[in-house]
Chains A and B, each alone.
Chain A
Amino acid sequence: MSTLLAMAEKLEQTGIGTAIAEGRYAFPVIEGIHLIGLSMAVGLILLIDLRLLGAFLPDVSVKALHRQLQPYVFAGFAIVILAGVLLFVCEASVVIVSPPWPFKMFFLVLGGANALYFEFITSRRPEALPDHGPLPGNVRYAGFASFALWVLVIVCGRLIPYIPHWA
Chain B
Amino acid sequence: MSFGDVLASIQSSSLSHAIAESNHMLVAGLQIVHVFGFIFLLAPLILIALRVLGLVLRDQPLESLVNQSKKLSLAGLVLSLASGVLMFLSAPMHYYANWAFDTKMLLLVAALAIYGLLFLWVAPRGSAHPSMAKLNVSLSLILWIAVCMAGRAIGFV
Q: Is the CB of B129 closer than 8 A to any CB of chain A? A: no
A155 to B34, CA, bound (A): 11
**Known contacts A25-B153, A47-B43, A47-B47; A68 and B56 CB within 8 A of each other:** yes
SS of A interface (majority): helix
Determine the residue in chain B with the shortest Cβ distance to A64. Answer: B57
* Stretch of B13-21, B60-68, B86-94 that contacts chain A: B60-68
CB distance B43 to A39 under 8 Å?
yes
* Contacting residues, chain A, for B60 (C-beta < 8 A): 60
A31 to B153, CA, bound (A): 9
A107 to B10, CA, bound (A): 40
**Known contacts A32-B148, A56-B72, A162-B25; A43 and B42 CB within 8 A of each other:** yes
Q: Is the CB of A65 closer than 8 A to any CB of chain B? A: yes
Distance (whole angstroms) from the CB of B34 to the closest CB of chain A: 9
A46 to B73, CA, bound (A): 13
Q: Is the CB of B124 closer than 8 A to any CB of chain A? A: no
CB distance B148 to A35 under 8 Å?
yes
Q: Is the CB of B28 closer than 8 A to any CB of chain A? A: yes
**Known contacts A59-B64, A60-B57, A154-B36; A43 and B43 CB within 8 A of each other:** yes
A-B interface pairs (CB < 8 A), number: 93
Determine the residue in chain B with the shortest Cβ distance to A42. Answer: B39
CB distance A46 to B43 under 8 Å?
yes
Distance (whole angstroms) from the CB of B6 to the closest CB of chain A: 29
Determine the residue in chain A with the shortest Cβ distance to B156. Answer: A28
* Contacting residues, chain B, for A40 (C-beta < 8 A): 42-43, 46
Q: Is the CB of B135 closer than 8 A to any CB of chain A? A: no
B residues 101-155 in Cβ contact with A at 8 Å: 145, 148-149, 151-153, 155
**Known contacts A28-B156, A57-B68; A46 and B39 CB within 8 A of each other:** yes
A residues 40-81 in Cβ contact with B at 8 Å: 40, 42-44, 46-47, 50, 56-57, 59-60, 64-65, 68-69, 72
Task: Show 8 residue pairs from A and B whose CB-CB distance is below 8 angstroms, ordered by the A residue.
Answer: A36-B42, A43-B46, A47-B44, A47-B47, A69-B47, A69-B56, A72-B55, A72-B56
Chain B residues near A (Cβ < 8 Å): 24-25, 27-28, 31-32, 35-36, 38-40, 42-44, 46-47, 50, 55-57, 59-60, 64-65, 68, 72, 145, 148-149, 151-153, 155-156
Given contacts A39-B38, A154-B36, 14 further A-B contacts (CB under 8 A): A28-B149, A29-B152, A32-B145, A35-B148, A40-B43, A46-B40, A57-B65, A59-B68, A60-B60, A68-B57, A154-B35, A154-B39, A158-B35, A162-B25
Chain A residues near B (Cβ < 8 Å): 24-25, 27-29, 31-32, 35-36, 38-40, 42-44, 46-47, 50, 56-57, 59-60, 64-65, 68-69, 72, 151, 154-155, 158-159, 162-163
